[in-house]
Amino acid sequence: MIIENVLTPERILCDAQGASKKKVLEVIAENISRHVPAINGKDLFNSLVSREKLGTTGLGSGIALPHCRIKACQEPTGFLVRLAEPVNYDSVDKQPVDLLFALVVPEENTQEHLTILQALAERFQSTELLAELRSAESPQKLFELITAPV
């Protein structure tokens, strides 16, 4: 499965704090740069914010897929966040977001970027999976749920 190739249990936050969309993107950028030192956190944050200005990555049903391409990124990298409290994210359904899967890919990696986003969007259409993700008690359990065969 594609998702397990870009995500590790160490790149998952359970019940994270985020007062706003920007703050959540900042938390994501800081954490990805901690796990992938080649990626500068400030550059990543700016890229994620720039991408959001093109149109929201809030899919609806409390889900967002913030993503961008970065030159310093060597391989597709995912980061899953479940927020303690939902935040306003300008989602297409106007509902707040509590589950985010951030994706950072190499600058030239357009097709793989789209393939991974499609796989994620398909996974997040399952109301059963969403309920399980929202009630999971650990990053390891979130990892198992999001990477389980469909």
pLDDT in tens, 132-147: 999 999 999 999 999 9
* pLDDT digits 0-9 by tens, 100-130: 999 999 988 777 778 888 889 889 999 999 9
Residues annotated as part of the active site? 67
Please tell me the predicted confidence (pLDDT) of residue 38. Answer: 94
User: Measured between alpha carbons, how far is 45 from 70 in angstroms, rounded to an integer?
Assistant: 11
User: Measured between alpha carbons, how far is 50 from 5 in angstroms, rounded to an integer?
Assistant: 26
Quick check: helix, strand or coil at residue 136?
coil
Amino acid at 16: A
Amino acid at 143: F
pLDDT band at 1 (very low <50, low <70, confident <90, very high): low
Domain span holding position 93: 3-147
User: Which residues face 145 on adjacent strands?
Assistant: none
pTM above the 0.85 mark?
Answer: yes
Please tell me the predicted confidence (pLDDT) of residue 112. Answer: 77
CATH number, domain of 132, equals: 3.40.930.10
* pLDDT digits 0-9 by tens, 9-19: 999 999 999 88
Structure tokens at 29: 């950028």
- The chain-wide mean pLDDT, for the chain, equals 93
User: Measured between alpha carbons, how far is 18 from 30 in angstroms, rounded to an integer?
Assistant: 13
Instruction: Give how many domains the chain has, as a whole number.
Output: 1
Please tell me the predicted confidence (pLDDT) of residue 16. Answer: 93
Quick check: helix, strand or coil at residue 41?
helix
Give the residue-averaged pLDDT of 81-109: 94
User: Measured between alpha carbons, how far is 116 from 5 in angstroms, rounded to an integer?
Assistant: 10
